Amino acid sequence: MKTAQNVGIVGYGSYIPCYRIPARVIAQVWGNPGGVPIKEKAVAGPDEDTMTIGLEASRNALIRANIDPQKIGAVWVGSESHPYAVKPTSTIIAEAIGATPATTAADWQFACKAGSETVQAAIGFVGSGMVPYALGVGADTAQGRPGDALEYTAASGGAAYIIGSAEESLATVEASFSYVTDTPDFWRRPTTHYPSHGQRFTGEPAYFTHVLAAAEILMSELDYKAHDFAHVVLHQPNAKFPERAATTLGFEKSQWETGLLSPMVGNTYAGASLLGLTAILDIAKPGERVLCVSFGSGAGSDAFALQMTERISERQTVAPTTQAYINRRVEIDYATYTRYRQKLQMH
């Protein structure tokens, strides 16, 4: 898919909470003698949620964009852990960054693809000429059922992107593509706290089918091979899935290691691929191409082909880098994690 007017990323920002729980600590609690899927995951503090995470990422994006927030014509937030079931996260972020009142705002849900879906829509909204800038946010405070396999990885974090004209961009969008089917690999009913998943069904028919198809079709449409990209970032529910998918697509470790953050921060769900992309943008050089492919259960993938412009270098360090957030690390034990994530039932 290509827009009528060329667009790109004019600002980006990330946020990762400072608390970390090592996967070995979770394994110890549940008596798991086997291997663990990641080293540790980021845990939101007791005063953090998807709004506060999305807001700090958005503020960082605004610093890098250096634009008047009143010109942002859309504030869209994708998450599966919006603080309210009814009442938008997006209006709070829009108000706090100074984008209200002449803007659209809405909350999106599509499991882990909710964030990239807002970026896909923002590309179209700006590319059609309806608004000069649109803000897309992916953020989550993911919950894993205690003792479940997902508890090792379900993490907190997020990223934000301001889409604008290609002339002002740090990275232009060469093209994008979306691929969805009705595949029930993971879900959560409205009144339940923890999600359910299809065990091994989450792999082949869900993650790999959609990620690979979206990437292959986009690369084919642009006539690009893996070696045309300096970096690739895929949705990262663990470390194993994105490594295998990237290898299948012909990429090498040197192309995916910068954007693969799940071993250090876990799976930030709607934030995951977008957060990995921020780590790449932090170090990318003008002219380099990046492939970003998300995945959301239910199921689908958004794929974006980006190319860095000369502007990228001057904006990388004007706001905290993703590595700075990764380095800001406070290790917690399982009891503290239980309290912070409200896993203790008080009634």
Partner 1 sequence: MSTQIARHWRLNSQRYQLVGEVCPNCSGKIFPPRDVCPHCADKERQPDYQFSGKGEVYSHSTVYKVPEGYEEAAPYTVALVKLDEGPLVTAQLTDVANEAVNIGMPVEMVTRKLKTQGDEGLIVYGYKFRPQMVAS
- Interaction site with partner 1 (CB under 8 A): 18, 45-49, 51-52, 55-56, 83-84, 92, 95-96, 98, 316-321, 324, 328, 330, 342
The residue among 313, 68, 281 whose CA lies nearest residue 159 is: 281
Tell me whether residue 31 or residue 101 sits nearer to partner 1 (CB atom). 101
Taking the C-alpha atoms of residue 74 and residue 94, their distance in angstroms, rounded to an integer, is: 9
Q: Alpha helices, DSSP H only, in the chain?
A: 23-29, 50-65, 89-97, 114-127, 209-222, 240-248, 253-256, 262-265, 272-281, 312-315, 322-327, 334-340
Give the span between the Cα atoms of 115 and 292, in whole angstroms. 12
Nearer Cβ to partner 1 (47/223): 47
**Number of Cβ atoms within 10 Å of the Cβ of 88:** 18
Of 189 and 347, CB closest to partner 1:
347
Residue 315 Cβ, how far from partner 1 at the closest point, in Å?
11
82, 197, 210, 235: the active-site residue: 235
Task: Write a three-state SS string for 130-143.
Answer: CCCEEEEEEEEECC
- Least gap, CB of 323 to partner 1 (angstroms): 8
Q: Measured from the CB atom, is 55 or 170 closer to partner 1?
A: 55
Say whether 227 is catalytic: no
CB of 59 to partner 1, least distance (A): 9
Which of 40, 82, 112, 197 is the catalytic position?
Answer: 112
Residue whose CB is less far from partner 1, 75 or 92: 92
Give the sign of the dihedral formed by CA 158, CA 35, CA 19, CA 315: negative
Cα–Cα distance, 322 to 218 (Å, whole number): 27
Query: What is the closest distance, in whole angstroms, from the C-beta atom of residue 93 to partner 1 in the complex?
Result: 9
Count of CB atoms within 10 A of residue 204's CB?
10
Please tell me which residue in 56, 80, 151, 168 is annotated as part of the active site. Answer: 80
Tell me whether residue 235 is one of the annotated catalytic residues. Answer: yes
- As measured in angstroms, the least distance from the Cβ of 342 to partner 1 is 8
Active-site annotation, residues: 80, 112, 235
